[in-house]
Amino acid sequence: MKKNIPSVINAWCMYDWANSVHALVIVSSIFPVYFSATALSASASGEVDFLGFQIKSSVLFSYTVSISFLITAMLVPICTAVADYTGKKKRFMQLFCYTGAVSCMLLYFFTKDTLLSSIFLFGLSLIGWSGSIVFYDSYLPEIATEENFDRYSARGFSMGYLGSVLLLLFNLSMVLFPDFYGITQKSLPARISFFTVGVWWILFAQIPFHYLPKANGGKQKGGNWIFNGFIQLKKVYSTLRQQPYLAKFLSAFFIYTMGLRTVMYVATIFGASELRLPSQSLIITVLLIQLVGIAGSFTFAWLSGQIGNIYALMIGVCIWIGICTGAYYTTEAIEFYMVACTVGMVMGGIQSLSRSTFSKLIPENVTDTASYFSFYDVTEKLAIVIGTFIYGFVEQLTGSMRNSILALLVIFVIGLMLLWRIPSRKVYRFELDRNKN
């Protein structure tokens, strides 16, 4: 298949535009704020009666994220292997996409009386979002050549930032000026926002679904699909063992992603519960993070071209260590905003660079990229499971989110040490060329 086709690349980037509204509106801004307020209205103490257990709303939020990504981690290897074997990668991507989008739309009915069912819908939206991303990521090495991985990956993240900001601005206008829209019910702007996420996601996903090619890895359709899927996974695992740099990168990625993605999921809850910041201030802060993140994605793509992917990632992790240190001592709103801006600079950049780095380390003759990216994405999902669980568990034990932040700081330090074992991609490529000669 011909690569670097502009129409295909642009369509691929549009899925970031389509799905990133979930990460912004549902995960990072309006939903966490609305969830905290709804839980507080249901119980003055902020504790929630969940399946017979009394649990802090912030801890329940963390645990819901953990369980959702654990389920995704169990589903993804089977789905991606079957997708590679049958050539139905796009169908699986659509299935997860529509599952997540419809779940967001059903959150329109989220009130204090439907708290339990809404928690399950939130978890299902996470499963749909994270599952579709696996197949989306796996298209990159199929549609682009290696020298363009960093640039196209950064473009995708930037498109996601821009698209999600546009929808958030509309939703924020409803939250701040409901009278302009003729809205009198206090909770309605937030619930409409959840519905618009699902509509936006489905609508713009039709562009990549139309232009992205069918998978290259389809085999004959006979036999036991799941059994053959596990055969494919076994082959990928055997290849991973023969790629020392790939294995080392995945171990480092697992650790630093544990801290990075946890911060992304709990930052708004931290501002609402620990600092008692107003809802509008939190949402505007998240909006600012997205705008700064656009510059951050391209900055790290440029930096990787200057010093190599691994060294650029190490710089990013060092900044995250500083972020955790600053967050631990944050007590004022202005300090929180400064930390948030720094998060925006490195959040998308590291994610984008991690995706492109992994794409470069995949053997060049591989066609079953979905199975390879299942390892990458399962690694990421398990990191989120452990990271959010640690965050919630430490808070539950100590009663303070600040101690949870210290745990994340330690995680980033370990991730930096693991990255230190890997040579820069430029050094790695030089060694390969020298060995060939």
**Domains of the chain (ranges, CATH numbers):** 8-214+243-431 (1.20.1250.20)
| Least trusted range by pLDDT, from 164-168, 208-212, 422-426 | 422-426
The structure tokens listed for 248 are 């080392």
368-384 pLDDT per residue, tens: 666 677 777 778 888 88
Percent of the chain clearing pLDDT 70 (strictly above)? 87
pLDDT confidence tier of residue 424, bands split at 50, 70 and 90: low
- H or E segment and range at residue 55: strand 53-56
Quote the pTM value.
0.76
SS3 per residue for 347-410:
HHHHHHHHHHHHHHHCCCCCCCHHHHHHHHHHHHHHHHHHHHHHHHHHHHHHCCHHHHHHHHHH
- The token duo for 236 is 């990928």
Split at pLDDT 50, 70, 90, the class of 216 is: low
How is residue 352 written in tokens?
């984008």
Instruction: Please report the pLDDT score of residue 321 as a whole number.
Output: 94
Q: Model confidence at 434, in pLDDT bands (50, 70, 90)?
A: very low
Q: What are the pLDDT digits (tens) for 146-155?
A: 788 878 887 8
User: Residue 431 — very low, low, confident or very high, per pLDDT cuts 50/70/90?
Assistant: very low
Residues 293, 344 contacting (CB under 8 angstroms):
yes
- For residues 288-309, give the mean pLDDT: 80
Average pLDDT over residues 97-120: 93
Which residues touch 215 (CB under 8 Å, ≥6 apart)? Answer: 83, 84, 87, 88, 89, 90, 142, 370
Q: Give the confidence band of 41 by pLDDT, cuts at 50, 70, 90.
A: low
Residue 43, Cβ density class (10 Å: 0-12 exposed, 13-18 middle, ≥19 buried): middle
Burial class of 54 by CB neighbour count within 10 A (0 to 12, 13 to 18, 19+)? exposed
Checking if the pLDDT of 206 tops 90, the result is yes
